[in-house]
Amino acid sequence: MLHLPNSGYRVFRVQLYNEQVRSLASHRQRHSFFDRQWAEAQLRDVVARDEAEAWSLIAERFPPEDGFVVEQITASAF
């Protein structure tokens, strides 16, 4: 994150992985598109007004239909 959020916005820490990549990696195979790092949980910061908007934004960028699974969303203590 390069800057602090504007007034009324908060930073949410999102932990997610890709279920397809994780499954393939457990069988020593590679996904045709996503890097193997997605087998492990990744952290991303999302700037949003509330948790519902954070879920929406993360689902746009990392769609569940592409195998992405959100493990946790927590509000950062900025």
Q: What is the DSSP letter of 73?
A: E
Statement: residue 25 has pLDDT above 60: yes
33 CB burial (10 A radius; 0-12, 13-18, 19+): exposed
Where b means 16+ CB within 10 Å and e means fewer, 45-77 reads ebbbeeeeebbebbeeebeeeebbebeebeeee
pLDDT average, residue stretch 21-49: 93
pLDDT average, residue stretch 24-29: 91
Residue 51 CA from chain centroid, whole number:
13
Q: Where are the domains of the chain?
A: 10-75
pTM, full prediction: 0.83
* Percent composition of the chain: helix, strand, coil (DSSP 3-state, to 5): 35, 30, 35
